[in-house]
Structure formats: C-alpha cells, structure tokens
A and B are shown apart, each in its own frame.
Chain A
Amino acid sequence: MCELGVTSHAFGHGFAGARFFPATLSTDDPFVSDELSLPTVSTIRTPDGGGTRETDISVDIAKRITPQFGIEIRETLTVLNPHEGRATNGFGNLEFAGKYQLLKNGPHEAIVSVGLGVEIGGMGSSSIGADSFSTWAPAIFFGKGFGDLPEALRFLKPFALTGVVDVAIPTSASTRAITVNDQTDERDIEIERHPDLLEWGFALEYSVIYLQSQVQDMHLPAPINRLIPLVEFALETPLNRGARGPTTGTINPGAIWAGKYFQVGVEAVVPINEHTGNNVGVIAQLHFFLDDLFPRTIGRPLFGGNK
C-alpha cells in the first residue's frame, strides 16, 4: 500500500531521475508542480518616456490537478516611475496557464511538456498599460540534464538546460486611441498594432547539489553546497502585422539557492540591445515547494495522487 502511495510523489517538483531542476525566475520551467512564487520582484529602467523605472511584484501559484497536468495563476502589481511626471501603479491582467507533462525520462534527465497560457484582457489597469484584449500562448517546454555524459566529462554533468518556446497570439490585431486637440479641435487617431510574438527563452544552469552528490564530493560548506548558478535568456521576436523587427529581451545571470522547503533566486537583468533598453535591472524571487511543505494536503495532485 505504501509503495503505491509513494508513487504519487515520485514526480514532484523539478525532478527527472537524479536531477533536481530549480524553478527558474525569468523563463517558465517544464515541470508540473505544486509551487508558490511569492514574491517575484523585478525592477529595470525602460526606454519609454525618456526613461521609466518599472517595478513588477508578482505572485504565481501552480497546482497539480493530476500527476501530469497542472494549472497556474499569476498576477502582477506594476509600479511605473517616469523620469518626469507622477508615478502610477496598478495590477496587470490576470494570467492563467495549463501544462501537461508529455515525457519524462529519468536515466537521461529529460522532460518535455506542452502548455497553453492566456492573459485575460481588460482585467488589469489601463494606467500601467494592461491590454484591453486577451492573448493566448501555446507553448512547449523542455529540460535536459547532462548527467548522461561520459565519465571523462564528469565535471560537465552538473550542467542542465531548460527552455520554453511559445507564440503569443493577441485576440486583437490592433487598437485605436482617439485624442482631440483642444485648440484646433482636430481628432488624432493613433493605431497600435499587436503582432504575434515568438517568445523563447532558456536557462543554462550548473548544480553544485548535483556535483556534490553525483560526481565528486568537494566538501563544500553551506550555503555554497546548495547553490545553482545559472544564466537565463528571455527573448521575443515579433512575427507579423508590420512589426517585424529586431528581437528584444534580456540575458539574466544569477544564482539560486535551493533549500528543503523553498528556494531563493536573484539575477541581473541585462538588455540584449538598445531596443530593449540600456540599463541593467534585477529580479529576485522567493519560491516555496508546496509538495514538500504540505505533502498530504495542497501539495499533492487533486486526482490520481494515490494511483
């Protein structure tokens, strides 16, 4: 009976075989899990309006419905502090996502998942630029540890790669904003186009946990023995509607410390080009493993957890 019971937790958060994958900060990881990110805080100065500091504070909860299928809900509070003028803040659109784990291969530390996300338009505050239309985003996620490299390359085994590719499809091709000039009484119509976006990102990480327990015990002290240095790439490329242009995004080097019940991560946010921005930002996250904190209640799948 216990043997059946333990099976339900064998595929908890971030494991494929002997590999523990941390939850990444800037790109979604491929695992279906019971986790809570609270908060994720990022701040960067964007080129908008002559330089606007944008600070996002978000909460993200992921819940397994079955061992292979989970849902995710995210909400973000955005604070915009322009170079000139008053600061404004407000909530963004609520985001929902579903993710299904297609494949997991323990010996090769590999995982592939598919998902569908939606940002529900009109729920957020227009003062911080929340879209009035919804955006759908079908996605494919992957993760691969390098633990199956030959022994001659054993110190490369702690490396792992996770990534996501999705296409964000707005339900509105464009929006119009009409402004009236008080002096001339002329009406200006501004059309903003909303192209489909190819969003792609990946994270290359080196797990000291894996090094110590699978390759070579270096007798590293805490907290170094639980560190996972990584670099994330979060990029997007417009695909159509006259907006074909350069890819924008950021490269985010940083580190994650993973403990028993939670992990803490911090990364620099470095724009890849001037279209993205010229200033370096930062992102930090406190992330709870609900399957470890509450293994018999909210930390297990709603259905199929005992099979």
Chain B
Amino acid sequence: MNWICRILFFCLAVLLSASQVSAHAFLEHSDPSVGSKVHSVPAAMRIWFTEAIEPRFSSIQVFDATGKQVDKKDTHPDRSNRSLLQVSLPPLGPGTYKVVWRVVSLDTHVTKGDFRFQVAS
C-alpha cells in the first residue's frame, strides 16, 4: 500500500501547489437559457461562466435568423460578479436567435461557444 499513499500524496501536492485559481471558463447558465423558448425578452442577454473572466477581451453577440446582429454591442461585465457577462438587447420580435460568445478567463485561457433561443409569438 506504500505506493498508493505516495501517489495520493503526490496528487494532493499537485492540487495544492496550483498557482492559479482560474481555469478554462465554461458556460454555466444563461438568461434566456440555452435552447429555451421565451415569451418576453429580457433587457440583456446574460451569461454566467464557471470562472471569472477578463471583460476587455470577451464578447457576446446576438444574431437573428437572417444573420443580422441585433444586440446593442455593449458587452460588459457585472460589477459585483466577475463571472457574469452581459449585452443589452432591444425589444425582439418572434423568431430564433443565435448567441455567440467568446471569453478569456483570468489566466488567459480562451473559450467560445454558441447557442440558440426562441422568442415565441
């Protein structure tokens, strides 16, 4: 069992010696949520990530079904939550919208993704 203890000790040492508290930022949840159908559109598209992000190099874009960008191009972080990024939305008509995001976590890892949501008539 000696070698098992050594391996476990090493693994613990690796975790404890990590110099950063940040990692790749994944989408945790959003409002409107991924793949959802909503009846009323919020004033902003908000995405919560699993890590604090660097807002200067992060963006959210929202496109309508024709590919036209419909957000207000003012991607900004939440002042009290560094893992929340948002972009303002105008009133949106019924249809399917595509959200494209790209974020940089504090340790400079880049992640990106996209998803759709629907606005019901």
A residues bordering B, Cβ < 8 Å? 2-3, 5-10, 12, 15, 17-18, 20, 36, 38-39, 57, 77, 106, 151, 154, 209, 212-217, 260-262, 286, 288-289, 291-297
Contacts A38-B7, A217-B30; A8 near B108 (Cβ below 8 A): yes
Instruction: Please give, as numbers and ranges, the residues of chain A lying within 8 Å of B112 by CB-CB distance.
Output: 17-18, 106
Residues of the B chain whose Cβ atoms lie less than 8 Å from the Cβ of A292: 20, 22-24, 107, 109
**Are B104 and A260 in contact, CB atoms less than 8 angstroms apart?**
no
Which stretch from B10-18, B67-75, B84-92 is at the chain A interface?
B10-18
In contact, B108 and A289 (Cβ under 8 angstroms): no
In the complex, B56 has a CB within 8 A of chain A = yes
Chosen A-B contacts, 24 in total, with CB atoms closer than 8 Å, are A3-B57, A5-B108, A6-B54, A6-B57, A6-B110, A9-B108, A10-B110, A15-B24, A18-B112, A20-B24, A57-B3, A213-B34, A213-B113, A214-B34, A214-B113, A217-B33, A217-B34, A217-B35, A261-B15, A288-B11, A292-B20, A295-B20, A295-B22, A295-B109
Q: What is the CB-to-nearest-CB distance from A46 to chain B, in angstroms, rounded to a whole number?
A: 22
Known: A2-B54, A213-B115, A215-B115. A9 touches B110 (CB 8 A): yes
Contacts of B23 in A (CB 8 A): 260-261, 289, 292
Q: Say yes or no: A293-B14 contact (C-beta < 8 A), given A39-B7, A217-B29, A260-B50.
A: yes
Is A15 in contact with B11, judged by CB distance below 8 angstroms?
no
Instruction: Give how many B residues have a beta carbon under 8 Å from the other chain's beta carbons.
Output: 36
Interfacial chain B residues near A215, Cβ < 8 Å: 34-35, 115
8 Å CB contact of B11 from A8, A216, A286: A286
A62 to chain B, nearest CB (A): 14
Question: Within residues 39 to 90 of chain B, which ones have a CB less than 8 A from any CB in chain A?
Answer: 50-51, 54, 56-57
- How many A-B residue contacts, CB cutoff 8 Å? 103
Q: Which residues of B contact A216 (CB under 8 A)?
A: 34-35
Give A81 Cβ to nearest chain B Cβ, in Å: 16
Partner of A18, one of B14, B33, B107, B114: B114
The distance in angstroms between the C-alpha atoms of A18 and B40, with both chains bound, is 28
Q: Contact: B18 with A294, CB < 8 Å?
A: yes
Instruction: Apart from A17-B112, A57-B3, A291-B109, list 7 A-B contacts with CB within 8 A.
Output: A12-B24, A18-B112, A39-B7, A215-B115, A217-B30, A288-B11, A295-B19
**Shortest distance between the CB of A54 and any CB in chain B (Å):** 17
Minimum CB–CB distance for A157 against chain B, Å: 10
Picked from B19, B34, B50, B109, the residue with its CB within 8 Å of the CB of A9 is: B109
Cβ contact within 8 Å between A2 and B35: no
Q: What residues on B are CB-neighbors of A10 within 8 Å?
A: 109-110
Q: Digit string of B97-121 for contact with A (CB within 8 Å is 1, else 0)?
A: 0000000100111111111100000
Which chain B residue shows the least CB distance to A59? Answer: B7
Shortest distance between the CB of B107 and any CB in chain A (Å): 4
Residues of B close to A12: CB separation below 8 A: 24, 109
- The answer to whether B35 touches A294, judged by C-beta atoms less than 8 angstroms apart, is no
Report which residue of A3, A209, A217 has the largest number of chain B beta carbons within 10 angstroms of its beta carbon. Answer: A217
Cβ contacts under 8 Å, B22 to chain A:
292, 295
List residues of chain B with CB within 8 A of the CB of A38.
7, 10-11, 14
A295 in complex: contacting residue of B14, B15, B107, B115, CB < 8 Å: B107
Taking the closest CB of chain A, its distance from the CB of B83, in whole angstroms, is: 13
Given contacts A9-B107, A9-B108, contact A294 B34 (CB under 8 A): no
**Closest approach, in angstroms, between the C-beta of B31 and any C-beta of chain A?**
10
